[in-house]
Amino acid sequence: MGRMMEQQELISLRDLAEGLVCMAASAIEEKREELGDVRPYTLTKSSAVDPVTVVDTMAEEFLVETLLERRPGDGIIAEEGSARRSTTGVSWIIDPIDGTVNFLYGIPRYAVSLAAAIDGHVVAGAVINVADGSLYRAARGQGAQVLRGDSEEELHASSVEEAARALVATGFSYSAARREQQAKALCAILPQVRDIRRLGSAALDLCAVAEGHADAYYEHGIHCWDYAAGSLIAQEAGAVVETPALSVPGEEFRRTLAAAPGIAAEIGRLLDAAGAGERLGG
Ligand code: IPD
Ligand code: CA
């Protein structure tokens, strides 16, 4: 046994995640072409502006069925409700489409996110930007990479040293009351950083920090399926990452934060002082 075996297992979990998000991405694009405008095939969830399309449901079913065929004893936690207890110690955390609003509007920034966790810790994962094919992946201790066509690049968080020069990505809740709190905090943060981006997919925002396309990302109230794979990718790329425990429901409105190492402490203090602390409003 020992370390080699362990690393090989992590790499095989990562490879499986990578293969499955690619297959799901193809199925999503095919379905999108078949349907044309996806808006008529949409229902709402937690609020009137929280959408789920038939394509989200189809992609989740595909991922769950394939995982259960390949690794029958593993657990499942998934955004559209699939759930299964693990008998192997490994659980898969699935976001079939992260950035559903972008998907609805045809904005080319939506993702499939798939992570494997052992004992409540994410150990491997992959996120694919369905619209442009960029595939981000990581296994614990193995760094993070982005694959585009035949090219593979190691990911590194940015080397920025001052929050005042940081490009900060964030996102907002589907609840109007929560958005009001988030907007108040944002008013205090905006003058203290280079600028803000609201790009519409938490999973891809975390990959943006990994790639240096954003210097930091924070958001309150996201769910484990939004951040599981992306948080490992950002961490393996050298970012300082804080997430709630995987078992904490998004409804607790806790903070997820990923930041380049040179600004992580300063950004953390700035957010705390702006009312965007470890728990929104608390
Ligand atoms: C949402 C996206 C968005 C974030 C929201 C998430 P969904 O996930 O990640 O960027 O701001 O908090 O709920 O609904 O597109 O899967
Ligand atoms: Ca999501």
* pLDDT (mean) for 69-93: 94
The helix/strand/coil state of 55 is helix
Residues 146 and 191 placed together within one structural domain of the fold: no
d(CA 82, CA 118): 18
Q: Is 97 a catalytic residue?
A: yes
Q: Specify burial of residue 221 (Cβ count, 10 A radius: 0-12, 13-18, 19+).
A: buried
* pLDDT (mean) for 106-135: 97
Q: Is 131 in the pocket of ligand 1 (CB under 6 A)?
A: no
Residue 262 phi, psi (nearest 5): -70, -15
95 belongs to an annotated ligand binding site: yes
Q: Is 150 a catalytic residue?
A: no
* pLDDT (mean) for 241-248: 96
Q: Is 74 a catalytic residue?
A: no
Please give the residue range of the domain that contains residue 107. 1-154
Is residue 279 situated within a structural domain?
Answer: no
> Can you give the pLDDT at residue 282?
62
Listed in sequence order, the residues at least 6 apart from 27 whose beta carbon sits closer than 8 Å to its beta carbon are: 58, 59, 62
**Cβ atoms of 214 and 197 closer than 8 Å:** yes
d(CA 257, CA 71): 32
Residues 141 and 5 placed together within one structural domain of the fold: yes
Q: Is 98 a catalytic residue?
A: yes
C-beta atoms surrounding 29 within 10 Å: 14
Closest CA to 222 of 213, 230, 233, 214: 230
Sign of CA pseudo-dihedral 210, 107, 113, 231: positive
* pLDDT (mean) for 221-233: 98
Q: What percent of the chain has pLDDT over 70?
A: 98
DSSP state of 147: E
Q: Is 125 in the pocket of ligand 1 (CB under 6 A)?
A: no
Residues 263 and 136 placed together within one structural domain of the fold: no
Closest atom of ligand 1 to 99 CA is: 15
The CATH number of whichever domain residue 34 belongs to comes to: 3.30.540.10
* pLDDT (mean) for 84-101: 96
Cα(244) to ligand 1 centroid in Å equals: 16
Q: Is 200 in the pocket of ligand 1 (CB under 6 A)?
A: yes
Cα(45) to ligand 2 centroid in Å equals: 12
The helix/strand/coil state of 141 is coil
Ligand nearest to C-alpha 45: 1
The count of domains in the chain is 2
Of the candidates 107, 126, 154, which is a domain's last residue? Answer: 154
pLDDT surpasses 90 at 46: no
Residues 130 and 9 placed together within one structural domain of the fold: yes
Catalytic residue among 18, 205, 215, 226: 226
Q: 134-180 pLDDT, tens per residue?
A: 999 999 999 999 999 999 999 999 999 999 999 999 999 999 999 99
Beta strands in 65-107 (DSSP E): 75-78, 83-84, 90-98
Q: What percent of the chain has pLDDT over 90?
A: 87
Residues 211 and 252 placed together within one structural domain of the fold: yes
Residues 203 and 231 placed together within one structural domain of the fold: yes
Q: Specify burial of residue 86 (Cβ count, 10 A radius: 0-12, 13-18, 19+).
A: middle
> Can you give the pLDDT at residue 18?
98
Lowest mean pLDDT among 40-44, 98-102, 146-150, 256-260: 40-44
Catalytic residue among 56, 60, 80, 98: 98
196 belongs to an annotated ligand binding site: no
Average pLDDT, the chain: 94
d(CA 71, CA 11): 15
C-beta atoms surrounding 158 within 10 Å: 24
